[in-house]
Structure 1
Amino acid sequence: MLPVTADDHLPGPVDRAPLPGGPVAVLTNPTAGRGRYRALLPRLLDGLAAAGRPVRLLPASGPGEAEAACRAAVADGAGALVAIGGDGTVHQALQAVAGTDVPFGPIPAGTGNDFALDTGFPADPLAAADVIASALRDGRRHTVDLARMSGVDGTERWYGAVLAAGFDAIVNERANRMRWPRGPRRYDLAIVVELARLRPRRYTMRLDGVPHEVDAVLVAVGNCPTYGGGMRICPDADPTDGLLDVVVAGRVDRRTLIRVKPRIYQGTHVSHPLVRSYRARTVELAAEGITTYADGERSLGLPVTISAVPGAVRLLR
């Protein structure tokens, strides 16, 4: 067991002990953030190497290969894992380090960087690399919670930020099936299509064993407050409290949803009379025809069981 001390300025308890041996494995997504940070990669790698450890870039040409490369690096004795990219890249890396002693550092370089920013990393990639290098030199890690999902077939997935299981998940599913248009306009068109089809769905939830049945258009389960690049869907979620925040928008019509959705950026939507918030260690969630999206990535179909796992990842901060 590593020694744990309190630190009022950074999220989560801090471990101070020698880090595991082995190189720093680095996963990067050159297409993250539409490629605008690609030219920074040599400087980011140099910044990480300043910690005095060998740095090994992981080969990966897609999400499946990226996750497999991270798992292989951890199994081969990597001393740390760093992900350069957005929430999708972080999500792939978390599958490998969750529940292990291998420390992790996210460098925010994507369109959405919610997990990195919600856990206290700088928004500037070079500054984040400096923070991670400093933590590597000092043997410093901050433990934070993750959420663990379990499907009915026994499949398990981890996520760091938010699970979407309502309108936003349905929009993502629609956008991923569309061949045209490309880029962000595809997502905008998917919103228009799904708004026209908007209807409440019956959800069955068990929160720490207590049953709830609700008709809702939006359900989000947050370990962290934000998703979608800064939308504070679960504004009170804390990744160090051992709990999950569940936000449910009930029988909301199209006009109300359009009016309330911009308030998510400030987190003030939770004061709307049709929005309810819950908090639990374990969330069992079921509804027909919903494929969930975790950290913005396509994940498990409902029903799922989601558990808060305290201290599941050690962040290099």
Structure 2
Amino acid sequence: MNNVCTTSTVLAVTAKDLRPGPAEDAVSAAGPVAVLANPTAGRGRRRALLPRLLDGLAAAGRPVRVLSATTPGEAEAACRAAVAEGAGALVAIGGDGTVHRALQAVAGTEIPFGPVPAGTGNDFAIDTGFPADPVAAVEVIVEALRAGRSRQVDLARMTGADGTERWYGAVLAAGFDAIVNERANRMRWPRGPRRYDLAILIEMARLKPRPYSIRLDGVLHEMDSVLVAVGNCPSYGGGMRICPDADPTDGLLDVVVAGRADRRTMIRVKPYIYQGTHVDHPVVSSYRARTVELAAEGIVTYADGERSLGLPVSITAVPGALRLLR
């Protein structure tokens, strides 16, 4: 269900680590605007627009500094370096995968962040109030920079069994959708979206509920499930409202679980995810908690569409962990 999302051939730059501040506060006037851009996002459809977007950011009257990286790891490292070196803001041009890399650097800091939706899936940017049009999103970011304004939203912090920490902004997939992504990423053929479609068919044929242990604010729930999603925002996969009531300003995580569903039920329910009405189906349960401890055998999670930590993980809603330029 969730789109395979890989970040590659990125452009990046500089920023600075500070402590969190109030819900709405001034943007630092010091330091350049750091830019992480992915020209291949959205299968490269926005590549020609990149110079215009960079020129638009320059209209804020701040230096715009861009560096290149060739892998997702290099992109993330460039963002962390940006935070350490003193940029006054970080902007990510791309889809949810590009945003995810940038979030690792700015989460829990005072460095304001602006997502410019230019990918296949732009769920975090749209769910946090940015226009779907990248040019319009740049205008919103520039206005915030000029006004010295940022607004806080929540992020989710994951902690793995080995103590590894990761942040995400939209949704963590930890069921059928994550299994499909894992299958598609192992496949060498076919290329493009058809690889994901084939992975769905293969895993749908193998579909069976798995035993999950889900602890919500300390209360244990043990259940057999085919799909588990933990949302800070409502959407993933390019507009699927898997956690339709999730609010990135309420300090809580929304957990949506599809229980002992068979293939026929999954096929019937899937179209309703785009409207968020799947939660009305008897096989679907919804929960809300500040902390979610999630365990199951053989599951690698996908956060913001990016391969993340294997289960078990602990996920915590961190209020006001990100300052948005809007």
Q: How does 1:1-317 map to 2 (within 5 A)?
A: 4=22, 13-15=23-25, 17-317=26-326
Cα distance in 2 for residues equivalent to 1:216 and 1:55: 47
> What is the deviation of 1:271?
0.4
1:100-139 residue CA offsets vs partner (Å, 9 max, x unmatched): 0000000000000000000000000001011101100101
> What is the deviation of 1:60?
1.1
User: Contact 1:23/1:53 (CA < 8 Å) preserved in 2?
Assistant: yes
User: Contact 2:226/2:259 (CA < 8 Å) preserved in 1?
Assistant: yes
User: Contact 1:20/1:80 (CA < 8 Å) preserved in 2?
Assistant: no
> What is the deviation of 1:62?
1.3
1:226-283 residue CA offsets vs partner (Å, 9 max, x unmatched): 0000000000000000000000000000000000011000000000001000000000
User: Contact 1:159/1:294 (CA < 8 Å) preserved in 2?
Assistant: yes
> What is the deviation of 1:3?
7.9
Cα distance in 1 for residues equivalent to 2:264 and 2:50: 44
TM superposition outliers: structure 1 runs of 4+ over 4 Å: 1-4
Q: 1:269 to 1:100 in 2, by over 3 A?
A: same
> What is the deviation of 1:58?
2.4
User: Contact 1:142/1:314 (CA < 8 Å) preserved in 2?
Assistant: yes
> What is the deviation of 1:14?
2.7
Larger deviation, residues 38-47 vs 158-167: 38-47
Cα distance in 2 for residues equivalent to 1:170 and 1:273: 23
1:12-57 residue CA offsets vs partner (Å, 9 max, x unmatched): x432x25251110100001000101111111101110000000001
Cα distance in 2 for residues equivalent to 1:175 and 1:280: 31
Paired letter, 2:113: F
1:41-85 residue CA offsets vs partner (Å, 9 max, x unmatched): 111011100000000012111100000000001100110000000
**What runs of 5+ residues in structure 2 fail to find an aligned partner?**
1-18
The share of aligned pairs that are identical, in percent, is: 82
1:201-244 residue CA offsets vs partner (Å, 9 max, x unmatched): 00001100000001000000000000000000000000000000
Cα distance in 1 for residues equivalent to 2:81 and 2:142: 22
Give 3-state SS (helix, strand or coil) of 1:30's partner.
coil
Give 3-state SS (helix, strand or coil) of 1:57's partner.
strand
User: Contact 1:58/1:70 (CA < 8 Å) preserved in 2?
Assistant: no
Query: Could you say what the CA RMSD is over the residues aligned between the two structures, in angstroms?
Result: 1.1
Q: 1:32 to 1:3 in 2, by over 3 A?
A: closer
Paired letter, 2:87: A
Q: How many residues align?
A: 308
Q: 1:3 to 1:192 in 2, by over 3 A?
A: closer
1:123-166 residue CA offsets vs partner (Å, 9 max, x unmatched): 00001011101100101101000000000101000000000000
Give 3-state SS (helix, strand or coil) of 1:59's partner.
strand
Cα distance in 2 for residues equivalent to 1:99 and 1:31: 28
Cα distance in 2 for residues equivalent to 1:25 and 1:275: 42
Q: 1:3 to 1:82 in 2, by over 3 A?
A: closer
TM-score, structure 1 normalization: 0.96
> What is the deviation of 1:87?
0.1
User: Contact 2:76/2:102 (CA < 8 Å) preserved in 1?
Assistant: yes
Paired letter, 2:95: G
User: Contact 1:201/1:217 (CA < 8 Å) preserved in 2?
Assistant: yes
